[in-house]
Amino acid sequence: MKNLIVLFITLLTAQAATGGLVYPGQVEYTAGQGENHAIIAIDFNYENYFLFNYRWDGLATGWDALAAIEQAGSLEVDATWYEQFQCHFVNDFFYPGSNKYNYGDNAITGWGYWGSSDGESWVINPGVDNRNLSDGSCDAWVWSNYDFDISWDPLRGPGQMPIPEPAALLLAGLGAIFAIQKRDSK
- Between 119 and 140, name the one with better pLDDT: 140
3-state percent helix, strand, coil for the chain, nearest multiple of 5: 25, 30, 40
For the 23-160 domain, the top CATH level (class) is: mainly beta
pTM of the shown model: 0.78
What are the residue ranges spanned by the domains of the chain? 1-18+165-186, 23-160
pLDDT tens digits for range 161-180? 887 655 444 445 555 565 56
pLDDT (mean) for 87-109 = 95
- Across 91-95, 145-149, 154-158, 166-170, the highest mean pLDDT is recorded for 91-95
